[in-house]
Structure 1
């Protein structure tokens, strides 16, 4: 065979491989687009990476149908998920805390004077707001 024929055969082989890869990628995309989502019913373990490894958190889970599932979260995704799961944090200045404490004292007085208008949920809300008002600022 000539060098030209060898080159043409190689180019054809690479084109076929690239085409095959594109077909496989298209098939994977189609499967993902039409597949039912995996519903995770249980979380068993979270594995932190070693400092020298890629910084991803792997969470071992069990799907509702019993299949094992691994959630692999990079640092950006992990921070976003943490934000969804964390309770809302309100940063208050010292002046904000003083005014909030004053307002909560007034609310407590009103609740005591008109007790039949308030229930346990209202009392729990007042207690939660008092914790926010007296919580030490983070720094």
Structure 2
């Protein structure tokens, strides 16, 4: 099944097919979004070689430390070309990692998302932000 731009709406598992679909759509990634599940955003894992891939926009990962071991991921060149990147996080289970990334500035893949001309937006509920030493507006 394809949309009006001729881009498939089916799940994509092959990175070269994913890249061809992105090129075919002639669109930038305007709004990547993640919910922070496992803190391995978009299959970019701490200390993995793909963190240093500055050439490809989409890459296969065949040695994921989590299941499934074979995946496809966007890389930082594509993520950092976004106009807006949203991290939407809720719940107590996110609070430790939120503080480690935003407050302690520990080196996790999430902390490397810096759009060149865009913005990173963190949407946190009070529980996810509970370990931050800031006052939240409600």
TM normalised by structure 2 equals 0.22
Structure with higher helix content: 1
Higher relative contact order (CA 8 A, sep 6+): 2
Q: Which has the larger radius of gyration?
A: 1
